Chain A
């Protein structure tokens, strides 16, 4: 079945460092891909998404590009802030969106001043 694999955390970075969180997926067809973020004590929030190959999703300085050839959707940010400390989840849905989202296990990011 469909699955998502994320790099294991925790990831600790200094403020203004470059962030990459790797995400690869296994799916039939061309799924839609998502990044969700969970701030401490809160529920998940949709951060960005991409629905077809070569699409780039972006929000709040974060970006991820849908790479069909490498089945990847890596999350990047050029300069992280302390307020970016959270758990990040990569997720996918089937091409028609007819099945529930499949989530990765999450990657905890800590940014220190």
Chain B
């Protein structure tokens, strides 16, 4: 089944403890992206990648890192999480960086930083 898989689905952590949220897609998609979803703010893009070894900042990149060492994986790294990074995170992928192809989204990771 074609899908984007995120792990974990839920995570509670403490301020400053490094964490990684994994994202993997099995569709050989070139384009991958991370969003955060917050009440009243909708979806905001954190980082995106148009292909292996190519990453770019989105609208809210501060406090996050990403890497794209292989096509299928696009992990999101929080080196020193803070409470304002408590949010619902989504990974998405697409055939092409051309957004008019539409995106496939993962099921989300709900992160709480205390």
Contacts and interface: CB of A to CB of B under 8 A. Distances in A.
Interface of A: 32, 34, 36, 41-46, 49, 51, 89, 93-94, 96-101, 103-106
**Across the A-B interface, the 7 shortest Cβ-Cβ residue pairs:** A97-B98, A43-B105, A93-B99, A105-B42, A32-B100, A97-B100, A103-B43
Nearest to B40: A105
B33 A100 contact: yes
A43 to B, nearest CB: 3
A44 B90 contact: yes
Quick one: which of A41, A43, A46, A93 has the most chain B CB within 10 A? A43
User: In which size bucket is the chain B interface?
Assistant: 20 to 34
Nearest to A50: B100
A98 to B, nearest CB: 7
28 contacts: A32-B100, A42-B107, A43-B4, A43-B90, A43-B92, A43-B105, A44-B103, A45-B105, A46-B103, A49-B100, A49-B102, A89-B43, A96-B98, A97-B96, A97-B101, A98-B98, A99-B99, A100-B33, A100-B45, A100-B58, A100-B99, A101-B99, A101-B103, A103-B42, A103-B43, A104-B42, A106-B42, A106-B43
